Amino acid sequence: MRKTRVKEILIDYRKNMDWLSLYEETSSVGASVICGNSGDGMITGSQPEDDVMERQDKREEYEKRKQFNQLVEKVLDKLPEEERMIIEHKYNLIGNEYYGQFEIGGIPVTDIVANLPFCQQTYYKKRKNALSLLCELFDAVM
């Protein structure tokens, strides 16, 4: 597997984390059916069957994304601790608010190294090792 594909997987993983948390928050609130008069005597709004189908589609999407994220988490768990820290910081898998202002995967190296216990040269070596190992691990499971 190519490193660019690994990066895409990690970006999808991060986006799924956001989507899953949003889904969990909104699904606990519940959905209501809103109907109104369209002016020509017909009542408009979503039909109960459509609502059920839409909820079922969202639930299936939720399960699919959750399964994908669980697979990625299993792969990340196999990384050595320092390499995992680098990947978590690089792709903001830790949910850092400051990192949230940057595009996923676009966090400046200087900001990452400032939060890790090693220098920039060591960071680059460990990141390269982490991406190589992730390539091998994702090849094995996907």
User: Greater confidence, 51 or 60?
Assistant: 60
- Lowest average pLDDT, out of 27-31, 95-99, 132-136, goes to 27-31
Question: In Å, what is the CA distance from 52 to each residue of 18, 22, 34, 35, 47?
Answer: 24, 19, 14, 16, 9
Q: Can you tell me the distance from the alpha carbon of 59 to that of 69, in angstroms, rounded to the nearest whole number?
A: 15
Tokens representing 86? 């680098």
Tokens representing 137? 């691990």
Q: Which residue, among 121, 105, 101, has the nearest Cα to 113 in the 3D structure?
A: 121
What's the pLDDT at 46? 54
Question: Above 90 in pLDDT, residue 52?
Answer: no
Work out how many domains the chain is built from and give that number.
1
Q: Which domain holds residue 20?
A: 3-141
How many CB atoms sit inside 10 A of residue 98's CB?
10
Per-residue pLDDT of 10-50, as tens digits, reads: 999 999 999 999 998 887 665 444 444 445 545 455 567 77
